[in-house]
Structure 1
Amino acid sequence: MALPPKFNAHRLTFSSSLTSAPEPKHTIELFLDYVCPFSAKLFNHLYNNIIPKIISPNPSLSSKVDFIIRQQIQPWHPSSTLVHEAALAVLQLTNSPAKFYQFSSTLFAHQKSYFDISLVNETRNQTYRRLAKLASDTISDLDEEAVYNLLAIPSQPGEDGALNAGNAVTNDVKLITKINRLLGVHVTPTVIFNGVVANEISSGWTEEQWKEWLDKNIV
């Protein structure tokens, strides 16, 4: 599935030069929900261990593979939408894979703060305010107010009287949801390798299991 240009920061490549390096031969797509514990387990292990220790130092792997995060909102957790919106706001403001993945790592690290019970007595805009602060604390040159302004819901109708207008990232939420629905992805995490669901990949895989799989499939 193609990646719309506005979501280019969802893609993590390992080439030092995007202009001269060939396109990676293989793509690993990670369908993740920021409030899913198993998504956190998979992402954290990949981001903190597999990518820096196995893929990045190894040109035979890093030149042949890239990763794409597919934000998979799970609607039975209402907070899932809010947290994913924060990631989309960061993407809009930075358009940087490094910063988007950095903030994704922070969201997973703090995911319990956005579980159902953690914000049951919090208004939507209060949650957005916390997320905006988390983003600015994570990314030093990111303005908290700029993030919050993309997320906040107005308390009064607009000039057209609209009561359900959403926020400045609503259209992005619609687009990522349409993309994922076309693929029929349901559970998180789901991993798609070169267009095919890789059911064998588990969030509980060890470094050795990942290395064995990568050596076998990234050729």
Structure 2
Amino acid sequence: MAVPPKFAGHKLEFAPPTASSSSVPRATHTFELFLDYTCPFSAKIFNTLTTQVFPVVRETPAWANSLTVVFRQQVQPWHPSSTLTHEAGLAVLRLAPEKFWAFSGELFAAQKDFFDISVVNETRNQTYRRLAKVAAKVGVSEEEVYKLLAIPEKGGDDGALNVGNAVTNDLKVVTKMNRLVGVHVTPTVVFDGVVQDTSSGWTVDQWKEFFTKNIA
């Protein structure tokens, strides 16, 4: 599935495109990760892939030259703070797309701070403020992130009360895209458009076996 240009920070490529005189367009395999910031299993697979598996991909030219990874932000609405965490991801994506993956790593590391029990006694804007502080850890302006996330305390001039925030429309887009695929659980891996039977508990060797089998 395509990635709109404004969401380009969701993509992770391991090798720059090469010039070619061929009339056949260069293509890569697409490895899509549907992850939720409040899902422990999403955190586990993200950590394994980014710290152990992707370094192996970078060191393996046949894989690095043939693979594009896409982070798909999958809101799990039974955890109300899931929406808020993904909005924070979208705010970072807008302000500093090159920091999106680093921010995601920091947020997954701190995800327990945003579980149900951790947010139950604070306002929505208070949770946004804490999320903005996570963004600051990777060098993104806390105030700029919070500005995109904060909900006004007064209704609009037309009396509207469901005004959302500055990234609400972006959240609608990524949610619509994910619904087209029909993904439900997290984490889910989609490889070249096909849902895969993978596990968050896979070891590096199991992922190496997966890429060996699927990347010609």
User: Residues of 1 paired with 2:18 and 2:209: CA distance?
Assistant: 31
Asked if 1:134 corresponds to 2:134, the answer is yes
1:31 Cα shift?
A: 0.4
1:33 counterpart residue number: 36
1:62-211 to structure 2, matched below 5 A, reads 62-96=64-98, 99-137=99-137, 139-140=138-139, 142-199=140-197, 201-211=198-208
Q: Which residue of 2 aligns with 1:56?
A: 58
Secondary structure class of the residue paired with 1:82 = helix
Alignment gaps of 5+ in structure 2? none
Q: State TM-score, norm by structure 2.
A: 0.95
CA contact (8 A) 1:24 1:63 kept: no
Which secondary structure does the structure 1 equivalent of 2:189 belong to? strand
Which secondary structure state, in structure 1, belongs to the residue aligned with residue 32 of structure 2? strand
* Equivalent pairs, count: 212
Question: TM-score when scaled to structure 1?
Answer: 0.93
Select 2:211's aligned residue among 174, 191, 214: 214
Report the secondary structure of 1:74's partner residue.
coil
Question: Percent same amino acid among aligned pairs?
Answer: 61
Long gaps (5+) in structure 1: none
**1:7-50 per-position Cα deviation (integer Å, ceiling 9, x unaligned):** 111010011x3574884520000000000011111111000100
Give per-residue Cα distances to partners, 1:133-177, cap 9 Å, x unaligned. Answer: 11012x22x211100000000001122221101000000110011
Task: Compute the displacement of 1:66 (Å).
Answer: 1.1
What is the Cα-based RMSD across aligned positions, in Å? Answer: 1.3
Q: Give the whole-Å Cα distance in 1 for the aligned partners of 2:26 and 2:128.
A: 37
Structure 1 runs of 4+ off > 6 angstroms?
Answer: none
CA–CA distance in structure 1, aligned partners of residues 163 and 18 of structure 2: 40
